[in-house]
Amino acid sequence: MSRTEVLVSVEHVGKSFTGAEGDELRVLDDITLDLRAGEIVALLGRSGSGKSTLLRTIAGLIGPTTGSVRYRGAELNGANPGTAMVFQTFALMPWLTVQDNVELGLAAQGVPPAQRRERALKAIDMIGLDGFESAYPKELSGGMRQRVGFARALVLEPDLLLMDEPFSALDVLTAENLRTELMTLWQQDGFPTKAICVVTHNIEEAVLLADRVLVLGANPGHVRADITVDLARPRDRKAPAFAALVDRLYDLLTGREPGVAEPTEATPAARPLPAASVGGLAGLVEIVHARGGRADLPDIAAEIGFEVDDLLPLVDAAAMLDFLFVAGGDLHLTPVGDLFTTADIQASKKIFAEQARDRAPLVRTIHKALAASAGGNLRAGFFLDLLRRGFSTEDAQQQLDTAIDWGRYAELFDYDTGTGRITLDPAQWPAAERTSG
């Protein structure tokens, strides 16, 4: 199988959706990539990077706002005939048996019953579900249900298999087993698809699976880097080359992008607040302090039983507030971070308040707006309306919730759930008058 054979071309694709107030929400921006036969490509990114939107654009399930998607040179105007998709949530029909679920796509294509049955049984056997043909989804474990999802996609013999975080809903051991089996099948002759494109937010998963990793930046989604994974299979997580590539990708995901404003100058839309609680980010800073002011994030994650990706919002939050910085794949404590974690509770809260007011764009915006308002209070809906111009409704609410959490802890402002109003803390009035003057 030649890797020069281009199956899908994405050319300068942008995608926008209409927000709740009729405003444009840009999700993808000027994305160009080729997917070739014989390769596995991972789309690696974090929340807001548009990974799933890009995958659905490749599948032809949604059309691009700008640019084009081509399958074997022909521009898509609907579903991509050369793709099949495996979803995170299994998406099985609960009233159908395993075999009926696997045959579903073939029936939609008009394949005769006898041929459908033969191809479905072959796919069921290949994916390790032999003996479960007559079972219903409710009788299966999560791992078994996802196997049905794989069989249902592979039975179509697509040129390109698309997978949207297919292992994230599974427990760690089941996910590892299914990943290993998929890679074993991929290397066998007769595997019924020519290429795979998988969406993931898991750095190690990307290195384990892919020949190429496209790192996506966020707000809107764009390609930051295209990294070749030149490691023999099966891949050893403990190998120095594996660890070095994980660190490189980790640096790309956590490092500041060129052209992105510093937190002290950025708008709330340009530098969104990470989804991190005060307690969570403070705990991470304490861990780094306890390790002498420098720590390897994968080591921390392994020690406390979390994935690296689960800790990235905490890293972002601590870096935004200048408590930590990332370099060479390690977390480093800053002088401000050292003061924050060693001070008594009141002094620590004061340091947090100063950093949040100066370096958390949305907290700063709310604080300044309250200081400029009559009576020092405004409806939360005012800020939500502004946020919806740059975020989806759900993300706008998450941004406001995080800002309120940080502002309350810092005693900068408070929120009354009964009235729906945010009020400047009385102790902030002198400071507010100075900053607004």
The phi, psi pair for 188, rounded to 5°, reads -85, 150
AA identity, residue 203? I
pLDDT in tens, 271-310: 889 989 999 999 999 999 999 999 988 788 878 877 777 8
Q: Which of 46, 48, 88 is nearest to 311 (CA)?
A: 46
Lowest model confidence (mean pLDDT) among 233-247, 396-410, 419-433:
419-433
Q: In order of start, what are the domains of the chain with their CATH numbers?
A: 6-254 (3.40.50.300), 278-341 (1.10.10.10), 360-436 (1.10.10)
Tell me the pLDDT band of 22, cut-offs 50, 70 and 90.
Answer: low
What pLDDT score does 378 carry? 92
Q: What is the mean pLDDT of residues 14-30?
A: 78
Q: Which of 351, 350, 299, 344 is nearest to 323 (CA)?
A: 351
Q: Which is higher by pLDDT, 364 or 2?
A: 364
Residue 436 has pLDDT above 50, yes or no: no
Residue 94 has pLDDT above 70, yes or no: yes
Kindly state the tokens that stand for 335: 């002088």
Q: Which of 369, 408, 375, 377 is nearest to 268 (CA)?
A: 369
User: Distance between CA atoms of 193 and 199, rounded to whole angstroms?
Assistant: 17
What ranges make up the beta strands (E) of 37-186? Answer: 40-45, 66-71, 74-75, 83-86, 160-164
pLDDT in tens, 202-216: 888 999 999 999 999
pLDDT in tens, 149-199: 999 999 999 999 999 988 888 888 888 888 988 899 899 888 899 999 999
Lowest model confidence (mean pLDDT) among 67-71, 145-149, 264-268, 383-387:
264-268
pLDDT in tens, 170-180: 888 888 888 98
pTM over 0.95: no
